[in-house]
Structure 1
Amino acid sequence: MHKVIKEDGVFVETCESGDIEESTLGMFYQDTRYLSKYELKINGKRPVFLSASAEKNYFKEVYLADEKNEVLISRKSCIYKNTFNERIRLTNYGLRTSELYLTIELDADFKHMFEVRGFAGRKGTGKKLAPVVEPRKIILRYTGSDNILRSTVITFSRNITSFKDGRLGFSVELGPKESFDLCVCVHAGEIDSQDFISSDFEKNFKAIRESYDLWFERCTKVFTDSSQFNNLYKRSLADLRMLLSDFGEGPMAVAGIPWFAVPFGRDSIITGIQALLANTEIARGTLGTMARYQGQKLDPWSDEEPGKIMHELRQGELVNTKEVPFGPYYGTLDATPLFLILLSEYYNWTGDKKFFMELFPAAEKALKWMEQYGDRDGDSFLEYIREKEGGLVNQGWKDSKDSVVFSDGRLADPPIALAEIQGYAYDALMRMARIYGELGKKEKANGLLRKAAHLKERFHRAFWMEDKKYFAEALDGEKRKVDSITSNPGHCLWSGMLEYEKAVLVADRLLSDELFSGWGIRTMSCREAAYNPASYHNGSVWPHDNSLIALGLARYGFKDHLKKLISGMIAASEYFEYCRLPELFCGFSREDGGPVRYPVACSPQAWAAATPIALLQAMLGMRIDAAQKCIELNPALPEDINHIEIRDMLIGGETVDFAVHRIGGGIKLEILRSEGINIIMKERGRS
């Protein structure tokens, strides 16, 4: 399997041996591949692979051996300050002196990430320049069609013995038990050699390790009597730290590695919502970044509209030459109401009124977009249609071309109104109504409440399928119900838009055998014509999808459903490397064996990484109101968890510690520390 490490704007994906030798691997920075080949050989031969691990996310460790199994090679690497650092150590465990020749073959093709993924039809390409070779440095250069010079600066801790056609060599003589170290630093971009990052591997490794330690210290501590959930939560924190990048407004989570190591409106926003229990910094950085790139004008090329929240922000040559509309691209319908939900939730957790008011103008613009542009025909529903070729056909979270499909297999034609997005819109309206009310703008608040009530009533009439006792996935351009049974309406539980009687039917269906695989809720019922357990959106299991449904089940007090769902997700995590829930996995039933990995899933992926935190919030039935200094709990502990202890959780700037225990048939709350925050248990049934 491939191994990946990341820090801020740089990530490096290699094969298990530590080499970059396949077409999709490399060192990437700003959507450009700055290292496309990096292959190590001893005496002209590839070493024998022994083991590899990238469990810590910031550090990769590989062990190899020569063909005689006498010289062992360790490759330890990390990323620090946009620089890939590797220490290659050769140790002779033979009885005689070994004459070795270490070679490293290097290249940088400077391809855009889209080209690496298969983008074809370039209008033109740039020009690779001759490498600059110095005794301990090689510079690979490329002038792009955007007239930007890009450079990969590679420095070595020892003098290069030879260099030809991208292959450099080092002569090594090792006596018995002697070692030889070579430190390699690969930097993306021009840099003055005098200011170049230290080639001291241990120093750089220590710095990045300490930054992770500081991150863990700033996050909420969680202890349960389930070792599997404890591992899952720790993995969640580690993966979120790995995915953090700062685009000028504070750290936020990029969507996923390798294909989506960029800001994504929907993905990053939902990750911020999911992660609030553990750390609110992600939400703040996400909100600032989304407000910074909020739509300002009408631009069909990029689907930009005033007030709209972006879908995806890319950099690099293809963006600069406008060969792709991603700088940024706005082709998503759900990011804008989700932005309002995250802003409201961030305020609920932090009580940070100053930051909230700084972003309030962006919130009002987002609300105006929903009214003016999101509802294309005035029927109260948010709908999408692609404005130009090159954009996304489907613009909800299930954005593959075949994801909105009738039960007979026909694809729906746009404009399309998705069920879950109407839920997001309802929630956003309710939250903004509350905010306007608190600001003393009663008329505006009442107007939004009326709109929300009208949307709820219209939704139940237009989307409910009486014959199937379930909500449609969507309405197509002719306002016909897209009648496949999918997970989409489950998000409306999270939004609180469903009437209780219908919410019961939705919850029952979601946890029935046709949708629940035993590991998680499928995106589509196994009884549908378009169902395929190995498809991207029509039968697979997405952890983030399940986490939002779990929060919805908790909201309505459906505890038995919630326990079943959480138990399945925790059990599934045991089958994946490092207990890491991937972006998605196949929807085969549990009776068929362990969960099956989806072949090209991002891992780690932001909203999958944050899923365990959201599941924990659902288990605790937690509602937060920092302004009222109140935490409300309604726990539902699955069978294998009898004790949850929360430490160092920040609410409105105050630190709280508490625990819940299963005792007999009930749950007991134990308050360990509560500095001005009222923690209560409250049973909930109807949302």
Structure 2
Amino acid sequence: MADADTDSGWKTIAPQSAPDDYHIEVEKSLVDQPLRTLKRDDLFGVFDNYGDFRGEEHGAHGLYFHDTRFLSRLEFRLGGKPPLLLDSVVLDDNSALIVDTSNADLHVSAAPAGAAPVGMELPRETLFASRLKFLWEDAAYERILIRRFGGPGLTIPADLRFDADFADLFEVRGDIRLKRGTLSATVVDPATVRFSYVGLDEIARTTTIQFEPAPDELRPLGARWLVDLTERDRATILTRVHCAIGDAPAADPPSPIAAYRGLRRSGRKRTAALRQVETSNEMFDSVLGRSAADLEMLITKTPHGLYPYAGVPWYSTIFGRDGLITAIELLWIAPAIARDVLLVLARTQATEVDEAADAQPGKILHEMRGGEMAILGEVPFRRYYGTVDATPLFVMLAGLYFRRTGDLETIRSIWPNIRAAMGWITDWGDPDGDGFVEYHRMTDRGLANQGWKDSHDSIFHADGRGAEGPIALCEVQAYVFAAHEAAALLADALGEPGAEAHAAKAEAIRTAFEDRFWIEEMGCYALALDGRKEPCRVLSSNAGHALFARIAAPDRAARVAKLLTGSRFFTGWGIRTIAAGEARYNPMSYHNGSVWPHDNALIAMGLARYGHKAEAARVLHGLFEAATYDELHRLPELFCGFPRRRKRGPTGYPVACSPQAWAAAAPFALLGAAIGVDLDHAAGALAIDRPFFPDFLDSVRLPELRLGSSAMTLAFHRAGQDIAAQVVARSGPARLVVSK
């Protein structure tokens, strides 16, 4: 038993092995101090606002590469003291972090030869130290510029303290490992330190730190420069931290100057269309700009193709569900992202039964990890398929993508994967043959809940009892309905058999869904059916996804819309995951009362599709204003579901990822829903359905929207209670159709 905490009287219990839902152990909140995040492909850094990190003390801080923390400590000292912070900013395009500081008041009691006199005081704000930090390829770079403004010439020490723990990301999240590999730190030469770790997986991981100029003193855990400012007023220190995996010698990374030039030349081509949207509201433009930059940062080169990693710090890897929903949110404006997501998930689709990975033939990937614990099987996520919704979402996205682009070549290339996914839905996903797709983990090490609300306590009955599996989730049946509709469309386009059968199956699912999931006395769809086919009579945001997938009857959709935008669900910032007053409602929980931007975006898309445009605009307004309270104007993964209070912003969630891909995509999905954009390649039409703007928007200009060989640039302006659409530029035969 753990010792009692003598101050509080509470006992601290040491965590045992990883819990069954692999939740994140929390001792340090990610919102207790500002964080600065940089990411480049599989390398990312989480810094404090000084540009330092103290990972062993402060949780998520560190430099990470392939799910491992390659540098856990990096602290800068000037004159032996932490400097005073002046400014700390991640550039608007997320390319670099710039931190400006000055010296603290210094009392120099001893000095080396040539330094200022012993006993001299150096007033604060005499020295300026600026840190420029960026990532390129497999290395993190920093330039420290120290300048003297007035005062006597002097020599002053500048220090960097560093360490590498090579903690697996799941260790950082709170898992306890009883055994670890072998770690060493070596001074290689006067300008280089190398940390080496050979894990229990027998894979070598190395962190090499190089300095220019060489420090005056170099130790395995620290470097010191005696910065001579007697004859000059500035000095520069350059560092390069290179991460490598495996024993093969790696090519030296480029110099800091060459790397920075490469970074600036790399451009932002993958999200160019997103950055061209302009509105009448500068703050909303800032929110859209940050979202576009976050998506550019999260889209990653993988061995399987480009993919939007889910989020930093906990989910910087391929997640099937997250990538699919991100692609759906952006489809109207950036369809190429959907193509890449489909191709990557087709290449990683399960082909055989693997109980440890919850894999069955045709199933779409949930999560892929490359750290030591995943390689050793200490966590089951090396290639893990424990998700019930990614497979129907994959087929649904394929249908939406084809309707949007007419790209039959891509659809033909993944048609075997679509057929395999539909086979999983029909067979493995519905083992009892009742027409509903259910989940039940194959071993006790998998995720207990396998929808997007995958916390261990997120699926329950009205009295608070946890639902026993196999569980059929409300939103999953909606996705399966949409998947059959998509499969019918694609089979017909390819001249393949089965289109009529898929259309008939979709209609059968719609009928069964309305019969079994609608709860009249609630005026809403049930959260789920448990293993005894008993409905979970809980008011949840999951019901809003029935509108998103268009399975809901119009009259029932209207009742759901009223509920979701009423006081039990709508906080003023957004729609809660669970309505206030339900058995497990807790506005501080991960899934039982919090507000998730992506959840709200999908619901708003559904509201708009059923004509509830004012309600969709209300969701957009709330989330926009929530983003304005973030210093970077960014929507996080989630925030707490407390009601909106005057003169203050939303309450943060302690371990929310920021940035998070599907949250970054949400403003674009919400804007598309408000405008009512619908692009149909086969019809050759760009349709605008009943545009409705929230009060903060008077005009919107959309970039060149492409539809086959056609392109249109559109402008929208408020005219009283009406929104007028104007074609600014066009080419090709596509038609513009506006419904009011």
The equivalent residue for 2:514 is 460
The equivalent residue for 1:561 is 615
Residue by residue, what CA displacement relative to the aligned partner does 1:424-450 show, whole Å, maximum 9, x if unpaired? 000011111112122334x51111111
* CA positional deviation for 1:560: 2.0
- Say if 2:35 is the partner of 1:22: no
* CA positional deviation for 1:218: 5.1
Counterpart Cα distance in 2 of 1:497 and 1:178: 69
Counterpart Cα distance in 1 of 2:230 and 2:399: 66
Tell me if structure 2 keeps the 8 A contact 1:249–1:285. no
* CA positional deviation for 1:679: 3.6
- Say if 2:371 is the partner of 1:335: no
Write out aligned runs for 1:209-358 (5 A): 209-215=264-270, 217=272, 219=274, 221-358=276-413
The equivalent residue for 2:732 is 676
- Say if 2:94 is the partner of 1:48: no
The equivalent residue for 2:697 is 641
* CA positional deviation for 1:83: 1.0
The equivalent residue for 2:723 is 667
Q: 1:656 aligns with which of 703, 712, 718?
A: 712
The equivalent residue for 1:154 is 209
Q: 1:10 aligns with which of 24, 43, 47?
A: 43
Tell me if structure 2 keeps the 8 A contact 1:251–1:281. no
Counterpart Cα distance in 2 of 1:540 and 1:276: 26
Shift of the 206–164 alpha-carbon distance from structure 1 to 2, 3 Å rule, reads closer
Counterpart Cα distance in 2 of 1:532 and 1:177: 60
Residue by residue, what CA displacement relative to the aligned partner does 1:352-390 show, whole Å, maximum 9, x if unpaired? 221221111111111111001111211111111111122
* CA positional deviation for 1:177: 6.1
The equivalent residue for 1:79 is 135
SS of 1:532 mapped into structure 2: coil
Counterpart Cα distance in 1 of 2:599 and 2:325: 10
Look up the equivalent residue of 2:287 and give its one-letter code: L
Structure 1, 152-161 or 511-520: larger mean CA deviation: 152-161
Tell me if structure 2 keeps the 8 A contact 1:89–1:179. yes
SS of 2:277 mapped into structure 1: strand
- Say if 2:377 is the partner of 1:377: no
Look up the equivalent residue of 2:50 and give its one-letter code: S
Look up the equivalent residue of 2:669 and give its one-letter code: A
* CA positional deviation for 1:306: 0.3
Look up the equivalent residue of 2:618 and give its one-letter code: K
SS of 1:301 mapped into structure 2: helix
* CA positional deviation for 1:669: 2.1
* CA positional deviation for 1:532: 1.1
- Say if 2:161 is the partner of 1:125: no
Counterpart Cα distance in 2 of 1:41 and 1:456: 64
Tell me if structure 1 keeps the 8 A contact 2:310–2:323. yes
* CA positional deviation for 1:422: 0.5
Extract unaligned runs of 5+ from structure 2: 1-33, 106-123
The equivalent residue for 2:580 is 526
Structure 1, 53-62 or 612-621: larger mean CA deviation: 53-62
Shift of the 289–650 alpha-carbon distance from structure 1 to 2, 3 Å rule, reads same
Tell me if structure 2 keeps the 8 A contact 1:137–1:154. yes
The equivalent residue for 2:479 is 424
* CA positional deviation for 1:189: 0.7
SS of 2:486 mapped into structure 1: helix
* CA positional deviation for 1:220: 6.0
The equivalent residue for 1:64 is 101
SS of 1:62 mapped into structure 2: strand
Tell me if structure 2 keeps the 8 A contact 1:93–1:176. no
SS of 2:603 mapped into structure 1: helix
The equivalent residue for 1:88 is 144
The equivalent residue for 2:73 is 37
Look up the equivalent residue of 2:235 and give its one-letter code: F
Tell me if structure 1 keeps the 8 A contact 2:187–2:218. no
SS of 1:506 mapped into structure 2: helix
User: May I ask how many residue pairs the two structures share in their alignment?
Assistant: 681
Counterpart Cα distance in 2 of 1:661 and 1:557: 20
Tell me if structure 2 keeps the 8 A contact 1:350–1:653. no
Counterpart Cα distance in 2 of 1:208 and 1:117: 30
Counterpart Cα distance in 1 of 2:248 and 2:102: 36
Write out aligned runs for 1:126-141 (5 A): 126-141=181-196
Look up the equivalent residue of 2:453 and give its one-letter code: K
Counterpart Cα distance in 1 of 2:186 and 2:273: 44
Shift of the 533–578 alpha-carbon distance from structure 1 to 2, 3 Å rule, reads same
* CA positional deviation for 1:646: 0.9
Counterpart Cα distance in 2 of 1:430 and 1:277: 19
Tell me if structure 1 keeps the 8 A contact 2:332–2:678. no
Structure 1, 375-384 or 443-452: larger mean CA deviation: 443-452
* CA positional deviation for 1:222: 1.1
Tell me if structure 1 keeps the 8 A contact 2:78–2:157. yes
Alignment root-mean-square deviation, CA? 1.9
Look up the equivalent residue of 1:536 and give its one-letter code: Y
Look up the equivalent residue of 1:501 and give its one-letter code: D
Structure 1, 86-95 or 359-368: larger mean CA deviation: 86-95
Tell me if structure 2 keeps the 8 A contact 1:287–1:343. yes
* CA positional deviation for 1:630: 1.6
Look up the equivalent residue of 1:67 and give its one-letter code: A
Residue by residue, what CA displacement relative to the aligned partner does 1:527-558 show, whole Å, maximum 9, x if unpaired? 21211111111111110001001111111111
Counterpart Cα distance in 2 of 1:323 and 1:255: 22
* CA positional deviation for 1:130: 4.2
Tell me if structure 2 keeps the 8 A contact 1:215–1:241. yes
Shift of the 677–257 alpha-carbon distance from structure 1 to 2, 3 Å rule, reads farther
Tell me if structure 2 keeps the 8 A contact 1:493–1:549. yes
Residue by residue, what CA displacement relative to the aligned partner does 1:119-160 show, whole Å, maximum 9, x if unpaired? 1244x3211134242122222111111111111111111113
TM-score, length-normalised on structure 2? 0.89
- Say if 2:167 is the partner of 1:111: yes
Counterpart Cα distance in 2 of 1:637 and 1:17: 40
The equivalent residue for 1:399 is 454
Counterpart Cα distance in 1 of 2:523 and 2:268: 50
Look up the equivalent residue of 1:493 and give its one-letter code: L
Counterpart Cα distance in 2 of 1:306 and 1:653: 38
SS of 1:86 mapped into structure 2: strand
Counterpart Cα distance in 2 of 1:319 and 1:461: 42
Counterpart Cα distance in 1 of 2:662 and 2:435: 29
* CA positional deviation for 1:337: 0.6
Structure 1, 261-270 or 401-410: larger mean CA deviation: 401-410
Write out aligned runs for 1:557-636 (5 A): 557-591=611-645, 593-634=648-689, 635-636=691-692
Tell me if structure 1 keeps the 8 A contact 2:576–2:594. yes
Counterpart Cα distance in 2 of 1:631 and 1:7: 35
Counterpart Cα distance in 1 of 2:220 and 2:285: 50
SS of 2:739 mapped into structure 1: coil
The equivalent residue for 1:208 is 263
Tell me if structure 1 keeps the 8 A contact 2:240–2:256. no
Structure 1, 215-224 or 21-30: larger mean CA deviation: 215-224
Residue by residue, what CA displacement relative to the aligned partner does 1:280-300 show, whole Å, maximum 9, x if unpaired? 232222112111110011111
Tell me if structure 1 keeps the 8 A contact 2:472–2:529. yes
TM-score, length-normalised on structure 1? 0.96
* CA positional deviation for 1:195: 4.2
Tell me if structure 1 keeps the 8 A contact 2:275–2:289. no
Counterpart Cα distance in 2 of 1:402 and 1:325: 20
Tell me if structure 2 keeps the 8 A contact 1:384–1:395. yes
Tell me if structure 2 keeps the 8 A contact 1:2–1:15. yes
SS of 2:669 mapped into structure 1: helix
Look up the equivalent residue of 1:82 and give its one-letter code: D
